[in-house]
């Protein structure tokens, strides 16, 4: 009771075998709402020697009241009904450039082996943006350009740790496929400015701060020696400082504990009840104003240009997804030139607006386009609802497929429900002044080939007998009805009401037994 924070130290001899994240997750299971601070021990000499070659970063030591440990962990729970704690974190790395997405990875103990980013190996990503000099000096050169991502809104760094022959790289962070990442850039002046900001924030706390615990990653000393030498200056006049250079920091965000790196964490403690007096505490500035102002201006420029780039990228992405399925668009962006796949089982729906000629004769071209746009937009919403794929519209015709490009087992059921809902929408129009409008819908299922046509103007399309028969189901049907093939009917007859139409002459196929889908079974 009254537990406010836990300070934890663990050995840092082997980054992978000594799984700090598992250790912290265990602490979180027992104390899910208690913040933590601390970090892994670090061996600076072995770090310089082995980083990028081995996960063994040399022997480290943990001191306890009972002795010295080379393997293990120690913790201290700090309690007190009057104890107040404040936590801050200074990553310092500013994310720059466009957001990239992890498309393939494998777990590597507490870390992640990234195999592909947007379909390209991480090493080739570094080569693309930084040139051969940086790529050939990985992973050490990559310490200056880690990836930055977010975990529960906390920005963390993912440092390149080990490079493999295929261009994949182990990063010192737990990542997932689909995570968005950016390059991080560490400008010493801006990092020191962030330390000043945190120090000023601490001074604004209502109670006097009696102790500061600071844990800063040892990699900051290697990458940003000027930072390591000066980032504690703003805190020196606030309260006594304890801490050390870590092999990775421990931090609590929302309801989880994280093992992070390349960061400085600050824990401030206060137990005095009285409100502090308005005393002037000098914050020593480790960087001159003129130089800082220039760097802040450059930072603002980069941030705004990056935001504009991302906004344009989002617009392009949305336009592309209006033309192509998401999975197909992703493959094209990774460089695939030819996309053609065979699907053994898919459903194809064709719909055609009946009464379009009369609609055109009674309304201006602008009004006709407006009506069709509203109608097809309503159809589009239904397609999204049932997670099907709109293929295209041709004039007053509408084409949908189910089970492609991502296979789903119940594509026929979803397509049947879509057809009935489309019929309901048309009936609403008929009851609101457009009684001459109607729709014919045809459905068939079977094997198809799907792929992308064009090199400048892309189109995702379908081919095969299944497509032709689905089209004939529509054209030989009746207005206000949904005609389905026998193959389709066998897959859905337990869910829908079917009326056997009998044999119908289908162009190119002869006589085929067809059905009208008239409703859902209750």
> How do the residues of the chain divide into helix, strand and coil, expressed in percent and rounded to 5?
35, 35, 30
pLDDT at 455: 64
Q: Which of 84-88, 120-124, 214-218 has the highest mean pLDDT?
A: 120-124
The mean per-residue pLDDT over the stretch 139-145 comes to 86
DSSP track, 407-468: --TTHHHHHHHHHHHHHHHHHHHHTTT-TT-EEEEEEEEEEEEEEEE-SSS-EEEEESHHHH
Q: Within 10 Å of residue 307's Cβ, how many Cβ atoms?
A: 10
Please give the mean pLDDT across all residues of the chain: 85
165-213 confidence digits (pLDDT tens): 999 999 988 899 989 999 988 777 777 778 888 888 888 888 888 999 9
CB 256 within 8 A of CB 152: yes
What is the maximum alpha-carbon separation in the chain?
96
pLDDT at 281: 59
Instruction: Please give the residue that has the higher pLDDT: either 233 or 288.
Output: 233
318-367 confidence digits (pLDDT tens): 777 776 777 777 766 666 667 788 999 999 999 999 988 888 888 888 88
Chain position carrying tokens 């393997």: 71
pLDDT at 218: 81
Is pLDDT at 52 greater than 90 in this prediction?
no
Q: How many CA atoms lie within 13 A of 258 on its CB side?
A: 23
* pTM score above 0.75: no
pLDDT at 2: 72
Q: Please give the Cα distance from 302 to 297 (Å, whole number).
A: 9
Architecture per CATH, domain 336-520, reads as: 2-Layer Sandwich (3.30)
pLDDT at 163: 93
Is pLDDT at 57 greater than 80 in this prediction?
no
Nearest of 472, 473, 460, 110 to residue 257 by alpha carbon: 110
425-476 confidence digits (pLDDT tens): 999 988 888 888 899 999 999 999 988 876 666 778 889 999 999 999 999 9
The mean per-residue pLDDT over the stretch 60-83 comes to 87
For 376, phi then psi, to 5°, come to: -70, -30
Q: Within 10 Å of residue 463's Cβ, how many Cβ atoms?
A: 14
pLDDT at 227: 63
3-state secondary structure of 171: strand
At residue 420 the predicted structure's pLDDT band, cuts being 50, 70 and 90, is: very high
For residue 432, count CB atoms less than 10 angstroms from its CB and return exposed for 0-12, middle for 13-18, buried for 19 or more: exposed
Is pLDDT at 58 greater than 80 in this prediction?
no
pLDDT at 231: 78
- For 291-308, give the secondary structure using H, E and C: HHHHHHHHHHHHHHHHHH
The mean per-residue pLDDT over the stretch 288-307 comes to 67
């Amino acid at each position: 009771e009254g537990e406010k924070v836990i300070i934890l130290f663990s050995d840092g001899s082997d980054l992978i075998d000594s799984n700090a994240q598992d250790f912290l997750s265990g602490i979180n299971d027992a104390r899910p709402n208690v913040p933590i601070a601390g970090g892994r021990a670090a061996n600076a000499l072995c770090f310089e020697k082995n980083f990028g070659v081995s996960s063994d970063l040399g022997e480290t030591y943990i001191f306890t009241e009972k002795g010295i440990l080379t393997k293990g962990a120690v913790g201290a729970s700090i309690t007190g009904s009057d104890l107040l704690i404040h936590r801050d974190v200074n990553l310092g790395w500013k994310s720059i450039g466009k957001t990239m997405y992890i498309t393939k990875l494998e777990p590597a103990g507490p870390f992640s082996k990234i195999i592909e980013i947007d379909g390209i190996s991480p090493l080739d990503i570094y080569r693309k943006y930084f040139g051969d000099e940086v790529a050939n000096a990985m992973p050490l050169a990559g310490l200056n350009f880690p990836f930055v991502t977010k975990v529960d809104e906390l920005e963390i760094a993912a440092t390149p740790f080990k490079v493999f022959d295929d261009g994949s790289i182990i990063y010192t962070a737990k990542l997932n496929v689909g995570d968005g990442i950016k390059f991080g850039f560490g400008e010493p002046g801006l990092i020191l400015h962030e330390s000043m900001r945190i120090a000023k924030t601490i001074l604004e706390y209502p109670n006097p701060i009696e102790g500061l615990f600071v844990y800063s990653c040892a990699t900051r000393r290697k990458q940003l020696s000027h930072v390591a030498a000066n980032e504690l200056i703003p805190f020196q006049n606030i309260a006594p400082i304890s801490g050390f250079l870590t092999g990775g920091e421990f931090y609590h965000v929302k309801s989880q504990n994280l093992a992070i790196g390349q960061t400085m964490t600050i824990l401030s403690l206060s137990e005095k009840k009285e409100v502090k007096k308005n005393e002037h505490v000098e914050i020593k500035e480790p960087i001159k104003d003129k130089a800082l102002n220039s760097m802040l201006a450059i930072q603002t420029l980069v941030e705004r240009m990056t935001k504009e780039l991302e906004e344009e990228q989002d617009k392009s992405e949305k336009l592309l997804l209006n033309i192509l399925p998401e999975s197909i668009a992703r493959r094209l962006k990774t460089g695939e030139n030819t996309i053609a796949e065979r699907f053994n089982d898919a459903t194809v729906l064709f719909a055609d607006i009946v009464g379009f000629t009369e609609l055109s004769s009674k309304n201006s071209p602008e009004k006709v386009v407006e009506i069709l746009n509203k109608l097809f937009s309503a159809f589009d919403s239904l397609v999204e609802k049932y997670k099907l794929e709109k293929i295209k519209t041709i004039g007053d015709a509408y084409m949908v497929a189910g089970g492609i490009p991502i296979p789903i087992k119940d594509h026929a059921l979803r397509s049947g429900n879509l057809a009935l809902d489309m019929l309901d929408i048309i009936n609403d129009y008929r009851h609101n002044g457009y009684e001459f409008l109607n729709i014919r819908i045809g459905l068939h299922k079977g094997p198809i080939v799907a792929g992308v046509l064009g090199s400048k103007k892309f189109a995702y399309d379908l081919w095969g007998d299944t497509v032709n028969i689905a089209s004939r189901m529509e054209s030989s049907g009746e207005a206000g009805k949904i005609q389905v093939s026998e193959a389709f009917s066998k897959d859905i007859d337990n869910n829908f009401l079917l009326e056997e139409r009998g044999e119908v002459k289908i162009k190119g196929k002869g006589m085929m037994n067809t059905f009208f889908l008239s409703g859902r079974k209750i």
